[in-house]
Copies of this chain bind each other. A is one copy, B any other.
Amino acid sequence: MSTKTDILEAAMHVFAERGFRGGTVREICERAGANVAAVNYHFHDKSSLYAEVLQHAYRNAGAGEAMPTLADAPDQPEKQLAAWIHWYVRRLLHSDGTPVGRLMARELADPTEALDHLARGAVQPVFSELGRLVAAVAGGGLDDRRLKLQCITIVGQCLVFHSGRAMLQRLEPPHFTSDDAEEIARHITAGAIRACDPTPLESRR
Contacts and interface: CB of A to CB of B under 8 A. Distances in A.
Interface of A: 19, 21-22, 102, 105-111, 115-116, 119-120, 123-124, 127, 145-146, 148-150, 152-153, 155-161, 163-168, 170-172, 176, 183-184, 187-188, 190-191, 193-195, 197, 201, 204
A193 to B, nearest CB: 6
Contacts of A119: 167, 170-171
Contacts of A191: 153, 191, 194-195
Each complex incorporates copies of this chain amounting to: 4
Contact of A164 (B108, B176, B184): B108
Contact of A124 (B110, B158, B171): B171
Contact of A109 (B106, B170, B197, B201): B106
A93 to B, nearest CB: 13
